[in-house]
Amino acid sequence: DIVMTQSPDSLAVSLGERATINCKSSQSLLYSSNNRDYIAWFQQKPGQTPRLLIYWGSTRESGVPDRFSGSGSGTDFTLSISSLQAEDVAVYYCQQYYTTPLTFGGGTKVEIK
Amino acid sequence: EVQLVESGGDLIQPGRSLRLSCAASGFKFGDYAMHWVRKPPGKGLEWVSGINWNSGVIAYADSVKGRFTISRDNAKNSLFLEVNSLRVEDTALYYCAKGSGRRSVEWSPSDSWGQGTLVIVSS
């Protein structure tokens, strides 16, 4: 199974500052035939269902603010929030969909400093 | 608007069985893969099982393989999860989630989620 390791477990960032979440996969998520990374990022706010933010490693889902961006390739990936807003307080998860079983990272809790 | 409504969760003793259901609306259900994802209390998301659009491809997490069975009825826009031999560690909020790729030959991330149904396994 592909293991997804997120870091840090939690972080506190001041409003308007940048938040960076890392995700490392135990094997490459890059499919050579289409040059796509099979990783997605989700946001889960307290009391709410998960929301898809990013897929193919860097493609924003419709309606997601452009302060959210995904980067990386192969085994190392990053979700960045360029200017943290109060409504961004949530737990963020990476997920690989390269192969089954699909697997999530352990989650990163983002709070306001 | 996509709607996914789960049901069937309950407080149940270890070793017993349940059938979870998910009623879908607002999209062409038969064109999309569907998933079950769970969230144990105080823990993160865990993918449980997925089924492609025509039930031709099915997969499970190692932790549930042999105990859980996913199925769908495209005529009734419904997704199911038979959960057998329940264990305390199966306690979780179980979400039904829609894959994002239409009639895709590969798995895709979930772009719509239900509110979940709670399964509590306890003696």
pLDDT tens-digit readout, B42-77: 999 999 999 999 999 999 999 999 999 999 999 999
Contact residues for B11 (Cβ-Cβ < 8 A; gap 6+): B120, B122
* φ/ψ of residue B89, rounded to 5: -75, -5
Which chain A positions have a beta carbon within 8 Å of B110's beta carbon? 50, 52
Average pLDDT over residues B16-37: 97
- Tell me the HSE value of A26 on the side-chain side, using a 13 A CA sphere: 10
| DSSP E strands, chain B | 3-7, 11-12, 18-25, 32-39, 46-51, 58-60, 68-73, 78-83, 92-102, 110-113, 117-121
Which chain A positions have a beta carbon within 8 Å of B92's beta carbon? none
Which chain B positions have a beta carbon within 8 Å of A7's beta carbon? none
Selected for mutation to probe chain B from A52, A64, A77 (highest B CB count within 10 Å) is A52
SS3 A47: coil
What is the per-residue pLDDT for B102? 86
SS3 B29: helix
What is the per-residue pLDDT for B101? 87
